[in-house]
Amino acid sequence: MASAQCVSSTAEGAGLGTVLVRQDAHAVPGTPDALREPYPAGRISVLFLHGWGIGPQSYRGALARLEMIGCEVMAPAQPGFAGTRSLPAGECGFAGYARWAARYLDDLDVHEPVVVVGHSFGGGVALQLAHDFPERVRAAVLCNSVGGPVTWPSGAARSGSYRPMSERPLWEWGREFGSDLLRLPVISRVLPPVLGEAVPNIIQNPLALWRVASFVRRADLLAEAAVVAYRGTPLTVVWSDRDRLVPHGSFAALCEMAGTTGVVVPGGHGWLIADPDVFADVFVRAMAGAGVLDEALGA
């Protein structure tokens, strides 16, 4: 099984210039008209896919760090979140969300391959996008991604007694999601934008949340990870040491099938929301390892 390395909490700027972090005006209500223009060709184009139950505004610190290191960032609200329409029932799965992401890039006239970054549920969408549309993805960074189909009851990890992720009840997912938010070390700073997206999602579109949660807990993207790795697409798999939503067994399974060394960082499931500097450090290291940084500096 692939080993994991720990990273420090010191962000390393790449000095690639200043760009604008943008969000899709059609996905996030209230976006200024000035941001409706097509994305200019950037040195590193990044598609950022948020996690379940929230939206892109919750990651404003992480997105700002991507701007600081010279990225053109596309951070849309995925269908069914942040006031957007849900996908049709027949499209509500990782493949459907991947097709939506590809159409999103087309709508913005982004035709060059992008670096796709996904957190949690968004990591599963990012992996599916890299699998189904390899020509659209330059590299992928999966942060606490779903897709490894194994977990365990409390204390069973030490005995090697694994059980399928699909057997984990939905109420347990919801409980751990809420408790993870309350454990964030900078809760007073990050909680307002997170709740500002999570609460409307729960009130306005609970059916969409339930549909997505239903297929996420059955996620098995190990074959997709193996195919993406076989094609040679750089794939970075990241996990945090206090994550109670996506267990270590799931992370380890993805690493093994992708043939990649996993990166372990300190924190809970929402670590990149709580500590965007660590996220920036992980991203820069991933891009350096993938050769994307050298290409950008030589552009």
Q: State pLDDT tens for residues 121-155.
A: 999 999 999 999 999 999 999 999 999 876 544 44
DSSP state of 249: H
Q: Where are the domains of the chain?
A: 4-30+40-297
pLDDT at 84: 81
Q: State pLDDT tens for residues 191-215.
A: 444 444 444 555 556 666 657 667 6
What superfamily would CATH give domain 4-30+40-297? Alpha/Beta hydrolase fold, catalytic domain (3.40.50.1820)
Indicate the helix (H) or strand (E) that contains 162.
Answer: none
pLDDT at 289: 93
Name which of 83, 16, 85, 36 is nearest 56 in CA terms: 83
Query: Token digits for 214?
Result: 């239903």
What's this model's pTM, rounded to 2 decimal places?
0.75
Indicate the helix (H) or strand (E) that contains 225.
Answer: helix 222-231
Q: At 49, which amino acid appears? A: L
- Is 90 exceeded by the pLDDT of residue 75? yes
Query: Token digits for 271?
Result: 């670590």
Return the minimum-mean-pLDDT range out of 39-48, 114-123, 202-211.
202-211
Average pLDDT of the residues in 204-227: 76
Mean of per-residue pLDDT scores for the chain? 75
Please state, for a pLDDT cut of 70, what percent of the chain lies above it.
63
* pLDDT greater at residue 249 or residue 158: 249
In whole angstroms, how far apart are CA 45 and each of 50, 67, 151, 165?
Answer: 16, 10, 34, 33
* Count of beta carbons in the 10 Å neighbourhood of residue 5: 10
